[in-house]
């Protein structure tokens, strides 16, 4: 079973539309960390956000916002008023602690969602 599921393989929107990228995770740990990374066409992995499992407050950073819901094991990412420069593959990732034999800080990535923003 996948620990991080990004069910949307590809999403295409027109500039200025809002778009939400879904991420569902699975873990037995009570302490864990969730991340989003952006991979633009140039290929590098750009860190966007890190949340720990005890902080369920939603976060907003400019046009980006994140909705963390432990009840549904989801950590969704919304881009408001999308722009062409937002076109990229977005990865959600999980880091578990070692209580249940998880790895020390290693990131478990989802398969990614490719977002295309058209002008």
Partner 1 sequence: EPEVTQTPSHQVTQMGQEVILRCVPISNHLYFYWYRQILGQKVEFLVSFYNNEISEKSEIFDDQFSVERPDGSNFTLKIRSTKLEDSAMYFCASSWGPYNEQFFGPGTRLTVL
- C-alpha to C-alpha distance for 79 and 58, rounded to whole angstroms: 14
For strands 113-118 and 10-14, give the pairing: parallel
The answer to whether 75 contacts partner 1 (rule: CB under 8 A) is no
Torsion of CA 48, 7, 40, 75, to 10 degrees: -10
Span interacting with partner 1, options 14-22, 67-75, 79-87, 104-112, rule CB under 8 A: 104-112
Helix (H) or strand (E) holding 50: strand 46-52
The answer to whether 61 contacts partner 1 (rule: CB under 8 A) is no
DSSP output for 34-47: EEEEEE-TT---EE
Output 64 or 109, the one with its CB closest to partner 1: 109
Among residues 112, 113, 115, 117, the one that binds partner 1 under rule CB under 8 A: 112
Among residues 21, 23, 37, 75, the one that binds partner 1 under rule CB under 8 A: 37
For strands 19-21 and 64-69, give the pairing: unpaired
The answer to whether 91 contacts partner 1 (rule: CB under 8 A) is yes
**What residues make contact with partner 1 under the rule CB under 8 A?**
33, 35, 37, 43-47, 50, 52, 91, 93, 95, 97, 103-112
């Amino acid at each position: 079973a996948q620990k991080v599921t990004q069910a949307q393989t590809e999403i295409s929107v027109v500039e200025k539309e809002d778009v939400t990228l879904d991420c569902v995770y699975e873990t037995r740990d009570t302490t864990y960390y969730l991340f989003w990374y952006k991979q633009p066409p140039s290929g590098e992995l750009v860190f966007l956000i890190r949340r720990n499992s005890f902080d369920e407050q939603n976060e907003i950073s400019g046009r980006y916002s994140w909705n963390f819901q432990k009840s549904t094991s989801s950590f969704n990412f919304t881009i408001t008023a999308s722009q062409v420069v937002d076109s990229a593959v977005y990865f959600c990732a999980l880091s578990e602690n070692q209580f249940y034999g998880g790895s020390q800080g290693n990131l478990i990535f989802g398969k990614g969602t490719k977002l295309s923003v058209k002008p």
